[in-house]
């Protein structure tokens, strides 16, 4: 079967029911309903950001998403928090923070804050996350997402007894959540996991030719590359010069 797409919107892909998608969505549901806090640390390129953004869009008004890479320090983090809540920045950062807390605890039922790329948060922002938890305990769910850098950051913070890390780990269940196989289980298990995820993405997006799927999987070390390959196929199918683009983009 040929690759199916909307000619006016061919860059958008269908979200596949991958194991990562199911795992993250389940955790986000629990965090939102129970006002839990979780630290999710897993491999890059497996679709964590896509799932988190999609979940925030589907639950707009109660689920709020911040990419911490864009807001690593205290000031920018609080400003980003106010922005996703639809609030104006107050005269001071402290005033802005308290307005955010009041809004979350007064006007939003079962709010959830997703902190993506949380490993990029600076020490000052980590302390603001701790304060936010303390001020909204049992009302706001917090889901921190990152890769190995986030885990390393927390382990170093715990080892050096930096303010905020012990408290946050205690509040977040004293463990890191993970979906993919751990490294101790072997590289082959991880490779098989990614291949299964890649296959699910291909099938969800109209690619069911086994040869094509195998080619994509063999070229793709992670789901970012899988998405890129599917987009290239769609472009080639839509445009007479698509093959030329595909060859050029391979370099």
Crossing angle of the two packed helices 223-238 and 242-249, in degrees rounded to 10:
150
More confident of the two residues 37 and 247: 37
Lowest mean pLDDT among 107-116, 166-175, 220-229: 166-175
Mean model confidence pLDDT for the chain: 88
Q: Cα(first)–Cα(last) distance of the chain, in Å?
A: 28
pLDDT recorded at residue 34? 96
More confident of the two residues 79 and 151: 79
**Per-residue pLDDT band at 243 (split at 50, 70, 90):** low
pLDDT(98) > 70: yes
pLDDT recorded at residue 237? 79
pLDDT(238) > 60: yes
pLDDT recorded at residue 250? 45
61, 196, 207, 225 from 203: Cα distances, Å? 32, 11, 5, 15
Q: What is the pLDDT of residues 22-34, one digit of tens each?
A: 999 999 999 999 9
Q: What is the pLDDT of residues 7-22, one digit of tens each?
A: 444 567 899 999 999 9
pTM of the prediction?
Answer: 0.88
Q: What is the pLDDT of residues 129-152, one digit of tens each?
A: 999 999 999 999 999 999 988 988
């Amino acid at each position: 079967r040929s690759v199916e797409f909307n000619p006016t919107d061919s860059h958008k892909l269908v979200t596949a029911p991958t194991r990562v998608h199911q795992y993250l969505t389940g955790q986000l549901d629990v965090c939102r309903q129970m006002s839990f806090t979780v630290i999710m640390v897993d491999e890059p390129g497996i679709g964590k950001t896509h799932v988190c953004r999609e979940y925030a869009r589907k639950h707009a008004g109660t689920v709020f998403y911040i990419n911490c890479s864009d807001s690593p320090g205290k000031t920018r983090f609080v400003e980003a928090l106010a922005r996703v809540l639809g609030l104006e920045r107050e005269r001071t950062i402290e005033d802005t923070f308290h307005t955010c807390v009041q809004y979350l605890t007064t006007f939003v039922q079962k709010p959830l804050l997703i902190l993506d790329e949380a490993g990029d948060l600076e020490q000052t922002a980590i302390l603001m996350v701790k304060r936010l938890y303390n001020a909204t305990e049992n009302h706001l769910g917090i889901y921190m997402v990152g890769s190995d850098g986030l885990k390393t950051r927390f382990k170093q913070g715990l080892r050096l007894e930096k303010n905020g890390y012990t408290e946050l780990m205690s509040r977040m269940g004293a463990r890191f959540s993970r979906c993919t196989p751990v490294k101790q289980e072997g590289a082959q298990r991880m490779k098989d996991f990614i291949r299964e995820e890649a296959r699910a993405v291909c099938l969800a997006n109209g690619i069911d030719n086994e040869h094509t799927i195998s080619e994509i999987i063999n070229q793709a070390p992670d789901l970012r590359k899988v998405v890129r390959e599917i987009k290239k196929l769609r472009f080639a199918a839509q445009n007479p010069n698509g093959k030329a683009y595909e060859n050029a983009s391979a370099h």
